[in-house]
Amino acid sequence: MKYFLDSAKMDEITYAYENYGIDGVTTNPKHIQASGQPFMVAVQNLADFAADKPDFPISIEINPHLTESADMIAMAEKIHQFSDNFAIKIPATENGIIAARHLEQEGIRTNVTLIFSAAQAIMPAKIGAKYASPFVNWKELNGEDGMGYVKDIAQIYRNYGYQTEIIVAAVRSGHQIVEAAKAGADIVTAGLDVYRDSFYHPYTDLGLKRFQDAWDNTPKEA
């Protein structure tokens, strides 16, 4: 399973790329707002980062106010001019699907986002979207099973050999990362803090302490 960083902060992206070898980046309007950069500055910085990394996909979302396919397509084309690494995030609405289909046909990769049911994930696969993004934690916060529909999507894609890659998004814990992997997700996207938390287990620290005590009480030379 690939690990993407869910962030538009260039310091976090650089850190996760250089130290963890993350496989890609996803952003959304909230992440770009949190990065403190004007939208087009963020786009340029992400394009610059990707310039020498041909296999490093970065998802950038269109203006979420756009509702007409033609407007979505126009904005996606404009963003995509900055980098071939960009996959354009398009909402899983009817007009979003129409736009994503058009974009894929002209060679612009898309990430159909805001998917909250398996039914919403089938059409993105049929129209050849590069990615489909189910949002796990938002479902769980709403009292729903967050991972069940990811399992369904993975099974459906396997049944029909769909090439669309599942990005399990809105991931908040190591447990959700594991569940995504068990469900058969291609990719998980999470913030740096989630990955950092997933490294931690108290027994690792306890074990280190025990081994340090043993090390300190062992003669080093004959």
Binding stretches for ligand E4P (CB under 6 A): 6, 26, 28, 30, 113, 133, 135, 169-170, 189
Residue 126 annotated as catalytic: no
Q: Which residue number places its CB atom closest to ligand E4P?
A: 169
What is the DSSP code (8-state) at residue 89? Answer: E
Nearest to 192 by CA among 62, 29, 34, 49: 34
CB 176 within 8 A of CB 136: yes
Of residues 9, 30, 78, 89, which has the active-site annotation? Answer: 89
Q: How far apart are CA 100 and CA 104, in angstroms?
A: 6
Phi-psi bin for 168: left (phi > 0), alpha (psi -120 to 50), beta?
beta
Identity of the residue, 135 or 195, whose beta carbon is nearer to ligand E4P in the bound complex: 135
Strand-pairing partners, residue 56, are: none
Q: Helix, strand, coil shares of the chain as percentages rounded to 5?
A: 50, 20, 30
Identity of the residue, 108 or 205, whose beta carbon is nearer to ligand E4P in the bound complex: 108
* 3 state SS of 7: coil
Q: How far is the CB of 195 from ligand E4P (least distance, A)?
A: 13
Identity of the residue, 16 or 214, whose beta carbon is nearer to ligand E4P in the bound complex: 16
Q: How far is the CB of 220 from ligand E4P (least distance, A)?
A: 48
Identity of the residue, 28 or 110, whose beta carbon is nearer to ligand E4P in the bound complex: 28
Q: How far is the CB of 54 from ligand E4P (least distance, A)?
A: 21
Q: How far is the CB of 164 from ligand E4P (least distance, A)?
A: 14
Sign (positive/negative) of CA torsion 202, 203, 206, 211?
A: negative
Any idea which residues carry the catalytic annotation?
89
